[in-house]
Amino acid sequence: MTDSSNSQRNQTMGLDLGWVQQIRVNRNAADRRAASLVNRRGVKKEYQAAWLLKAIECMDLTTLGGDDTPGRVERLCRKALQPLRADLQHALGVQKLTTGAVCVYHEMIAPASRVLAGRLPIAAVSTAFPAGLTSLETKLREIELSVAAGASEIDIVITRQHVLTGNWQVLYDETLAYRQACGNAHVKAILATGDLVTLENVARASWVCMMAGADFIKTSTGKEGVNATLPVALTMTRAIREYFERYGFRVGFKPAGGVSSAKSALQYLTVMAEELGREWLEPQLFRIGASSLLTDIERQLEHYVTGNYSANHRHALP
């Protein structure tokens, strides 16, 4: 079982407002670096297969639809426990493989728990996901209920207006309250970066959430017009690296929304490896928010094993 509790948690720091306000991001440099990742020659053959298996291990297999049912969530959880077809797993010599976690709405924690029975973490989206526009009291109660129901990770959404108006103290206080409400459950702070306008806002929001004790920072809800992008990932991972250098605590990173192909998953793995290092290439510190991604990874792995691409319908859907 992969359990995020195996890693040392981030600690709450005081808000260093002077540090936050002086942060600058060179947009052109970030775009050039992102373009270099896209255009470079990718890993091939057995190396690509190994990286794709790592992507599965670091996946938050997700269903966040208004039409979710207990049956759909139970199928998702069974898929999380055996994400690859048995014949492919045997051909690749893999003994044990699961995704990193399952991510669902609060109402679907119970059916997820029935299938997973503690074998994988359950992440619940919370705090009025995806917009976050309800009272703080309501959002804190939602967190408490999800933790009590069995969620070991809480994906909270920040209030974007605090970033857009530069109200960093209120954002810090809000995130700190979420951290306290989560107790032993890990906090994954969703920045909704597509709504934040600038990379400087992304970097500053990353720092404020980390100072308030977030265990992960996450790009998106998947519901914004623009979700995970490589320039945003570079900005957030560099904030994580500087935070570690300054305070000594490793914070995780989760790109989510639009990461639907094996190629894009490999790009984010490359960002993690090159910007943060090998220590971050584990589920305790890296997750990919995904629903359709797993099907494409399975197809790529079948091509590696057999030399042929298969149709999507040959791979069980979550």
Mind telling me the catalytic residues? 155, 218, 254
What is the rounded CA–CA span in Å between residue 229 and residue 256?
9
Of 296, 16, 257, 262, nearest to 155 by C-alpha is 257
Are residues 30 and 272 in contact, defined by beta-carbon separation less than 8 angstroms? no
Of 194, 128, 187, nearest to 163 by C-alpha is 194
Torsion of CA 215, 66, 62, 133, to 10 degrees: -20
What is the rounded CA–CA span in Å between residue 261 and residue 300?
10
216-218 vs 122-125, strand pairing mode: unpaired
Preceding omega of 318 cis (within 30 degrees of 0): no
Are residues 119 and 102 in contact, defined by beta-carbon separation less than 8 angstroms? no
Beta carbons within 8 Å of 9's beta carbon, 6+ residues apart: 186, 213, 215, 249
What is the rounded CA–CA span in Å between residue 13 and residue 15?
6
